[in-house]
Amino acid sequence: MAERSKAPRVFRRMETATEYLRKLGIMKFVVEMGESIHQQTPDTRRRPDRSVAMRSTFKSASEWEAWYGAEVEAAVKEADSPGAEWVSNEAAKAQWAKRRETLLESVKQASDAQRTVA
């Protein structure tokens, strides 16, 4: 039985079924060739819920890609404009070092305050 649906498990290939049973420790089994196997069509084996989920995922990804592309294009236009202000690498590193020190200090103060309360 399938775990979620509790419907009988159907394998497309005998080798797959054999390997599955072997992993369960079943070394001997009987195969029943019933009508239900012959009546299955490719449409009955599809999972429409996964199809909808995948379409939604691809739609979200394409929307994100369009948004990201627009953001990059805007940033490039801004950087290419004559009024763009450039910051040296050294100035940027110094600015981030100052921010990092401020953040570490606030974390230390919060930690000290927590120890005082406890």
Domain limits of the chain?
14-45, 88-118
Residue 45 pLDDT:
59
Encode pLDDT of 80-107 as tens digits.
999 999 999 999 999 999 999 999 999 9
Both structure tokens of 112: 């000290």
pTM for this predicted structure: 0.37
Instruction: Provide the 3-class DSSP secondary structure of residue 52.
Output: helix
Task: Please check whether residue 21 is in contact with residue 29, taking contact to mean a CB–CB distance below 8 angstroms.
Answer: yes
| Residue 1 neighbours by CB under 8 Å, 6+ apart | 7, 8, 9
Angle formed at CA 30 by CA 24 and CA 36, multiple of 5 degrees: 100
Q: What are phi and psi of 11, to 5 degrees?
A: -105, 145
